[in-house]
Every structure is written in structure tokens, then in C-alpha cells.
Structure 1
Amino acid sequence: MRLFKETGWRWWWLIVLFIVVDQASKQWIVHNLPYGGSIPLLPVFELAHVYNTGAAFSILSDAGGWQRWFFAGLALAISLVLMVWLSRIGPAQQPRLCLALSLVLAGAIGNLIDRVLFGYVIDMLHVFYQSWSYPVFNVADSVICIGAVLLIWDSFKPEYEDKK
């Protein structure tokens, strides 16, 4: 029980919440929007149904299949490192770091589930403006990015903040 009360694992509920939201949103898209289809929501935003066999920005998406297990293994390794890291820090002393690690972990696991089950990641959030288009992404990608920004922000905080 100490693991969940006195370490970064106090944030487990947030990790589970974002994994569930990510997987539920992907399943909603799969069951309600045909592959390749889209639903405009704003002049610059739509829901879309696409698959990404590569990494961020579809890097290595046409690599022939080996990338599925490479990225799955990478996500698993990163997840294990983040789990150990969370188990070694106190949430009361470093809440921003715990939040950041929890978000990155939730996103990594959300996309890992897709890679292992399907061989690709289901993406659905599309931001664009006129002829410019940002690559389609998902909830897991979003929480990874937010977590990464928080990690960078946390790395710049003064050391004395941890002691307060």
C-alpha cells in the first residue's frame, strides 16, 4: 500500500483515466466513422479516422512492418522506465514531475495497446488551416505532448522548490 500512498504511483488513477479515455475515443471513431472519413467540428478542426503504422508524424510508416514491434518495444521500455521512476519519487515533493510522468506513461500505454492489438495507432484529431494541415493525432499523443512540456518545465525549476 505504501507504493500507492507515498510514491508517484499516487497518480495511478490519472494514468488509468487517460488510457480509458484514449481507448474509448479510438473505439468510438472505429465504430462511428468509416476509415478515411471525417466530421468537421470547427473551421480548423475535424474528427477523422486514420491509421498510423509509424511513429510521430508517420515516421517509418512505410518501413515494411518491422516498425510495429520496434515501436511497441520502445513504448514498453519507456513505460517500464517511467513506472520505476514514479515508484521512486514522492508526490508531495514533486507533483509537477509526477503529473508529467503520469501523462507520458498513459499516452505511451494507450498507443502501445493499439500497436500490439492492431499493428497501427488509431488517430482521429485533425487540426488544419486552409492548405496547411497538422498530422492527425489522438488523445494518447496529446497527453504525451502535455507531459513532455511539463517535464521540460519541471527541469527548469529551481532546486529549492522541491524542499518547500
Structure 2
Amino acid sequence: MKPTYRIFSAVVLGSLALDQATKVLIDRTMDLYQSIPVIDGLFSITYLRNRGAAFSFLADFSYRLPFFILVSVVALAVIAVTFRKLRDDQHLAAAALALIFSGALGNLIDRVRLGEVIDFLDVYWKTYHWPAFNVADSAICVGVALLAVDMIREERRKAP
């Protein structure tokens, strides 16, 4: 098996397992809206359900569930096609795409299973709250950042 396939598989399986395990743990051990302070004034574990996308975008849209499922499936297909075009030496890009893929898949699983996404990571400063998120959301953000780094590296590699 090619190194990029091993990287992709390992990252997807690890990230997806962590995402789903943490969501099951939160769902089974906490009440909805329950909050457990971890770092006072900065970070809590808070059990929330998000019907929308980032920042609850389109949460009240009547066709939100089929829309988000369709967007997720298309995104997964685009990522898979993009991954197949990678060279064997593009390990960082493989890891980045795997993180994005696993994050999209993790949230898709929630939407299909529950009709909404479990969020629980609550970062705030005094009264200013960042919208709650989960491991899948984090994987997507880290994956996008790593993909940007890889793209910059690729441009530098091609430059004379």
C-alpha cells in the first residue's frame, strides 16, 4: 500500500474514532446544556446540539438536513478525488485531506443518526463565547490549515 494511503487511512480512522467516541461519551454522561468548567473563564465541556452548520448557520432552514447531507456527501467525494490525485510524496497533503474527510464524515454520521450534530468544546473569555464545536470541527480546521501549508510548500518547490 502506498504511504499516502496508509497515512490517509490511519488519520481518518483515528480522527473519526476519537470524534465518535467523545460524542458518545458526552451524550451518555451529560445532560443537554450541562457544562463542566475545565479552565475557569476560558474553557468548559458543554453539551449542546447544533441543527445548523458552523455558528448554527441555516439551523432554521426547512430543508437543512437533506441539504447538509448532500453537501457532506459531495464534499467527501471531492476530497476522495483530490486525494487520489496526490503524488506518493505528498504526505502532509494526505494527512490534511484525511482530517477534513474524517471531520466531514463524523458530522455526517451525527446528522444521519441524530438529525443534528453534538458539540461540546466551549471556548470563551469572560462573556465572549466562540461557538461550541467538536473533534470533527477541529479536524476540519486543522486539516484546512495543513492543506494551506502544503500548498505554500508546493508553490515554493515549483519556484525556480
Both proteins in one fold, TM over 0.5? yes
Q: Which residue number in structure 2 is paired with residue 82 of structure 1? A: 79
State yes or no: 1:51 paired with 2:36: no
Runs of 4+ in structure 1 deviating by more than 6 angstroms, as ranges, are none
| Amino acid paired to 2:153 | K
SS at match of 2:139: helix
- Identity in percent: 35
Shift of 1:161: 3.5
Consecutive unaligned residues of structure 1, counting only runs of 5 or more, are none
- Per-residue CA deviations over 1:35-71 (Å, capped at 9, x if unaligned) read 011111112100011011111111011223x111111
1:104–1:144 Cα contact (<8 Å) kept = yes
Within 5 Å, give how 1:64-143 maps onto structure 2: 64=62, 66-91=63-88, 93-143=89-139
Shift of 1:85: 1.9
Within 5 Å, give how 1:2-81 maps onto structure 2: 5-6=1-2, 8-11=4-7, 12-43=9-40, 44-64=42-62, 66-81=63-78
1:53–1:120 Cα contact (<8 Å) kept = yes
Q: What's the TM-score, normalizing by structure 1?
A: 0.89
Q: What's the TM-score, normalizing by structure 2?
A: 0.91
RMSD: 1.5
Q: Distance in 2 between the 1:67 and 1:158 partners?
A: 37
Consecutive unaligned residues of structure 2, counting only runs of 5 or more, are none
Question: What number of residue pairs does the alignment pair up?
Answer: 156
| Amino acid paired to 2:126 | Q
- Per-residue CA deviations over 1:100-149 (Å, capped at 9, x if unaligned) read 10100010000000011111000000000101000000000000000011
